[in-house]
Structure 1
Amino acid sequence: MGLEQEVDILRRIPLFQNIEPSKLKLMAFASERVTFADGAALFEQGEEGDAAYIVLDGTADVQVTADGGSAITIAQVASNDIVGEIAILCDVPRTASVVATSELTTLKITKELFFRLVHDFPQIGVEVMRVLAHRLETTTRQLREARGG
Structure 2
Amino acid sequence: MSIPVLDALDQDTRTRLIRAGNRRRFTRNEVVFHEGDPAETLYLLITGHVCVRVTTPMGDTAILAVLGSGSTFGELALLSSDQPRAATVAALDSVETLVLARDQFTRLRHEFPGVDRFLVDLLAGYIRQLDMRLIEARYVPVGKRVLRQVLELSRIYGDGSRGTVIPLTQETLAGLAGSTRATTNQTLRSAATSGLITLDRGRVRIEDPVTLARRAK
Sort the TM-score into its range (normalised by shorter chain): 0.7 to 0.9
The one-character-per-residue Cα deviations of 1:73-94 (angstroms, maximum 9, x if unpaired) are: 1101111100011133233111
Unaligned runs of 5+ in 1: 1-5
DSSP 3-state at the match of 2:79? helix
In the alignment, which residue of structure 2 is the partner of 1:106? 97
Confirm or deny that 1:71 pairs with 2:65. no
Distance 1:90 1:136 in 2: 19
In the alignment, which residue of structure 1 is the partner of 2:207? none
Q: Which amino acid aligns with 1:38?
A: R
In the TM superposition, residue 54 of structure 1 has moved relative to its aligned partner by 0.3
Q: TM-score by structure 1 length?
A: 0.80
Query: Per residue, is there more strand in 1 or in 2?
Result: 1
In the alignment, which residue of structure 1 is the partner of 2:18? 28
Decide which structure has the larger Cα Rg and report it.
Answer: 2
In the alignment, which residue of structure 2 is the partner of 1:134? 128
The one-character-per-residue Cα deviations of 1:10-42 (angstroms, maximum 9, x if unpaired) are: 4xx22x212122222222222100000000111
Q: Identity of paired residues, percent?
A: 23
Unaligned runs of 5+ in 2: 140-177, 179-217
Distance 2:72 2:122 in 1: 10
Task: Specify whether residues 96 and 143 from structure 1 end up closer, same or farther in structure 2 by C-alpha distance, changes over 3 A only.
Answer: farther
Conservation of the 8 A alpha-carbon contact between 2:42 and 2:74: yes
Distance 2:24 2:34 in 1: 16
Aligned ranges 1:1-149 → 2 under 5 Å: 6=1, 9-10=2-3, 13-14=4-5, 16-91=6-81, 92-119=83-110, 120-121=113-114, 122-141=116-135, 144=138
Moved over 6 A (4+): none
DSSP 3-state at the match of 2:57? coil
Distance 1:125 1:107 in 2: 16
Conservation of the 8 A alpha-carbon contact between 1:117 and 1:124: no
Conservation of the 8 A alpha-carbon contact between 1:118 and 1:125: no
Conservation of the 8 A alpha-carbon contact between 1:51 and 1:111: yes
